[in-house]
Amino acid sequence: IPVLKIGEYIDQINDGEEVLLVSDHSCTKNSIQDFARKNHFTCKTIEAINGVWEITLTKINIKYHLEHFEDNL
pTM beyond 0.85:
no
Q: Which of 7-21, 28-42, 57-71 has the lowest mean pLDDT?
A: 57-71
User: 51 or 71: which carries more pLDDT confidence?
Assistant: 51
Tell me the one-letter amino acid at 25: H
Question: What average pLDDT does this structure show over 22-51?
Answer: 92
How far is Cα 43 from Cα 72, in angstroms, rounded to an integer?
Answer: 24
What digits encode the pLDDT tens for the residues 37-65?
999 899 999 999 999 999 999 998 766 55
The residue that leads in pLDDT, 20 or 4, is: 20
